[in-house]
């Protein structure tokens, strides 16, 4: 089972680019802080229907799956582990609650 939920602060502005397929990709870097550490998590969201208007320092919640993506750069194959988001929004919104409920429902069906 593969599901990831991360909440934290954006450490850089969202980066948007158009893929060769014509889809839009938005990349986020989210810093999550717990009692023991700070962790920066890369998040990518392909063709979002309603991306949030957020900027560096804003708090967000991202829900998706963990994936390892391979790509060519500088003549070599490289990889990156990231969250492939199905949802990104500000915490506390009704949309976040609904998305978390859907994730819990999906988890309970998979168990």
Enter the tokens of residue 37: 């550490």
Q: Output the pLDDT for position 111.
A: 64
Pinpoint the alpha helices (H) of the chain: 94-110
Indicate the average pLDDT of the chain.
Answer: 90
In this prediction the pTM is: 0.84
Q: Give pLDDT tens digits for 28-56.
A: 999 998 878 889 999 999 999 888 899 99
Domain boundaries defined on the chain: 4-110
Fold classification of 4-110 (topology level): OB fold (Dihydrolipoamide Acetyltransferase, E2P) (2.40.50)
């Amino acid at each position: 089972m593969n599901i990831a939920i991360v909440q934290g602060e954006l450490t850089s502005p969202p980066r948007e680019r158009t893929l060769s397929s014509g889809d839009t990709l938005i990349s986020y870097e989210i810093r999550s802080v717990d009692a023991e550490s700070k962790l920066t998590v890369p998040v990518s969201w392909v063709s979002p229907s309603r991306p949030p208007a957020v900027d560096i320092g804003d708090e967000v919640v991202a829900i998706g799956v963990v994936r390892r993506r391979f790509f060519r750069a500088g003549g070599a194959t490289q990889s990156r582990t990231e969250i492939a988001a199905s949802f990104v929004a500000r915490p506390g919104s009704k949309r976040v609650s609904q998305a978390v409920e859907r994730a819990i429902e999906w988890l309970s069906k998979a168990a």
